[in-house]
């Protein structure tokens, strides 16, 4: 008598609910996932005691007062015009440094707007001057 192969009797684990389990886990992770909100304007601060002397010709001073008004190179400038002005200056002098000075009561919002305009003009050399203490 030939022995029947035992394999025929092997039972499989019922895997029909596997996809349900996987779905449940998937929904859990979908719900808990928070897409990273960390984005913004990057800037490298100068190291302490690393002050350089720069030719005045290479500096454009940007003053932002507490009402959000901007003075760029002694000319009153609207915030949305900074970008075009800055890119013009960069194309004529690539080494130009933008120095942002703020009043102590300036809104952070206005400062970010100015910084954003400079970044949009692809300005790489941005310096943040301390507000004058008066």
Partner 1 sequence: MKLNRKNKQKSEISTSSLPDIIFMLLIFFMVTTVMREFEGLDIVLPRAEKIEKLESKRHTVHMWITKDGLISVNDRIVDIKNLGNVMANKIAQDPKITVSLKSDDKSRMQLITEVHTQLRNAQALKLNYSTLTKGNN
State the nearest-atom distance from the C-beta of 78 to partner 1, in Å.
16
Residues in the chain, overall count? 134
For residues 74-93, which are near partner 1 according to CB under 8 A?
A: none
Binding flag, residue 68, partner 1 (CB under 8 A): no
Q: Which of 54, 116, 125, 127 binds partner 1 (CB under 8 A)?
A: 116
CA distances from 100 to 4, 15, 21, 25, 114 (A): 88, 65, 57, 50, 8
Question: What does DSSP say about strands 97-102 and 75-77: parallel, antiparallel, or unpaired?
Answer: unpaired
58 binds partner 1 (CB under 8 A): no
Binding of residue 52 to partner 1 (CB under 8 A): no
Instruction: Give the pair of three-digit tokens for residue 94.
Output: 């690539």
Residue 67 interacting with partner 1 (CB under 8 A): no
């Amino acid at each position: 008598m030939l022995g029947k192969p035992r394999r025929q009797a092997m039972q499989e684990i019922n895997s029909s609910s596997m996809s349900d389990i996987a779905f449940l886990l998937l929904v859990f992770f979908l719900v808990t996932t928070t897409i990273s909100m960390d984005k913004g304007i990057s800037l490298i601060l100068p190291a302490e005691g690393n002050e350089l002397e720069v030719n005045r010709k290479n500096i454009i001073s940007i003053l932002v007062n507490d009402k959000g008004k901007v003075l760029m190179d002694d000319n009153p400038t609207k915030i949305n015009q900074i970008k075009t002005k800055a890119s013009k200056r960069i194309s004529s002098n690539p080494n130009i440094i933008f120095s942002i000075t703020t009043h102590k009561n300036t809104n952070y919002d206005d400062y970010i707007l100015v910084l954003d305009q400079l970044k949009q003009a692809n300005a790489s050399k941005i310096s943040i001057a301390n507000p004058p203490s008066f």
